[in-house]
Amino acid sequence: MKTVLMTGAKGGIGTFLRKELKGKYAFRLSDLGDVADLAANETSVPADLSDFEAVRQAVKGVEGVIHLGAFSVEGSWQTIQEANIIGTYNLYQAAHEAGVKRIVFASSNHAVGFYARSDTIDHSVYPKPDTRYGVSKVFGESLASLYADKYGIESLCIRIGNVADRPVDHRRLAIWISPRDMAQLTELGLEHPAIRFEIVYGMSDNVPHAWWDNSNAYRLGYVPMDRSDDFTEEVFKNCPEDTGDPRADHYQGGSFVSTESGGDPTKPDME
């Protein structure tokens, strides 16, 4: 069984992936503190991503990494720098030194959040981050590209929308991804033999609401199992389309385009 390090394992996405990928990998689970309720083939390795020596120990002997660890909403520059920029650099450098050859990087839709909702964008568009958090995800994608070309570490960067059991508002009809579709993309990122450096969008089959052309994911074999349109009637009935923030309603990044600082990294619907 392949040994895979998962950073940020206590977060919402990590919790979903542990359930969906149970039994497929020997997971080394890492977060700031111990991960509880370990299943068979799971071990806990606490590490602060800003501590290079701790990250170096965490990656020893693993064959792949799912890098979810980050401050997952907008925050001060110092907070984002430590957790998301220094932390991601430490992860890639330690993986390089340890000979790890495959990383799945949890990027974000907020790397491109300042595109208008009237735009349809694919993986090749230039970044338009909506926050310091979004900037950190652009940095992570660029770092993944560098380490692919210079050191041969293969990466799938997933610009994740919203991972949840169901979309709960109009924006999430466009960006939602179910846990089992997120797991499928993650497994593809760990196993696809031809990946060197790729960017895809973390979304289910969200036609007709989608703003993203996810043809690069389909090219790699992704076949989403869930559709946001199955929830359209429920969302339209229970949720107003106008949020009261015209900038948030205009841009793909939603409320992140208006957020200046702060945020709760433990919120359940992490994006």
Predicted local confidence at residue 269, as pLDDT: 41
Residue with tokens 């390795």: 45
Whole-number Å distance between alpha carbons of 252 and 235: 18
Distance of CA 100 to the CA centre of its chain: 19
The share of the chain scoring above pLDDT 70, in percent, equals 96
pLDDT at 270: 39
pLDDT at 262 over 90: no
3-state SS, one letter per residue, for the chain = CCEEEEECCCCHHHHHHHHHCCCCCEEEEECCCCCCCCCCCEEECCCCCCCHHHHHHHHCCCCEEEECCCCCCCCCHHHHHHHHHHHHHHHHHHHHHHCCCEEEEEEEHHHCCCCECCCCECCCCCCCCCCHHHHHHHHHHHHHHHHHHHHCCEEEEEEECEECCCCCCHHHHHHEECHHHHHHHHHHHHHCCCCCEEEEEECCECCCCCCECCHHHHHCCCCCCCEHHHHHHHHHHHCCCCCCCHHHHHECCHHHHCCCCCCCCCCCCCC
C-alpha 42/C-alpha 228 separation (Å) is 32
Q: Structure tokens of 240?
A: 């107003």
**Unique residue bearing structure tokens 């907008």:** 74
Q: What is the pLDDT of residues 69-117, one digit of tens each?
A: 999 999 999 999 999 999 999 999 999 999 999 999 999 999 999 999 9
Asked whether the CA dihedral 60, 45, 102, 20 is positive or negative, the reply is: positive
Residue 271 has pLDDT above 50, yes or no: no
User: Which is more confidently placed, 202 or 258?
Assistant: 202
Q: Which residues are catalytic?
A: 133
pLDDT tens digit string along 160-187? 999 999 999 999 999 999 999 999 999 9
Note the pTM of the prediction, 2 decimals: 0.95
What is the reported pLDDT for 259? 86
* Residue at token pair 């199992």: 225
The whole-angstrom separation of Cα 17 and Cα 179 is 7
List, for residues 109-138, the tens digit of each pLDDT value: 999 999 999 999 999 999 999 999 999 999
| Cα separations in angstroms, 110 against 125, 128, 259 | 13, 8, 12
* Domains defined for the chain, CATH in brackets: 3-257 (3.40.50.720)
